Amino acid sequence: MQKEPWYRDGLRFGCKQCGGCCGGEPGYVWVTDEEIAAMAKELGFSKFEFENAFVRLIRGKKKSLIERSNGDCVLFDEKTRGCSVYKSRPVQCRTWPFWDQNIDRPSSWEKTAKFCRGCNNPDGKLYTLEEIEEERGKKF
Ligand code: SF4
Ligand code: SF4
Do 99 and 138 lie in a common domain? yes
Confidence band for 87, pLDDT divided at 50, 70 and 90: very high
Q: What is the DSSP letter of 25?
A: S
Ligand nearest to the CA of 17: 1
31 ligand 2 Cβ < 6 A: no
Query: Residue 81 pLDDT > 90, yes or no?
Result: no
The percentage of residues in the chain with a pLDDT greater than 70, rounded to a whole number, is 99
Degrees, nearest 5: CA angle 41-19-76: 30
Q: Are 89 and 83 in contact (CB under 8 A)?
A: yes
Q: Whose CA is nearest to atom 8 of ligand 2?
A: 22
29 ligand 2 Cβ < 6 A: yes
pLDDT at residue 1, as a whole number: 62
Domain that holds residue 104: 6-16+90-140
Q: Whose CA is nearest to atom 4 of ligand 1?
A: 18
Do 118 and 140 lie in a common domain? yes
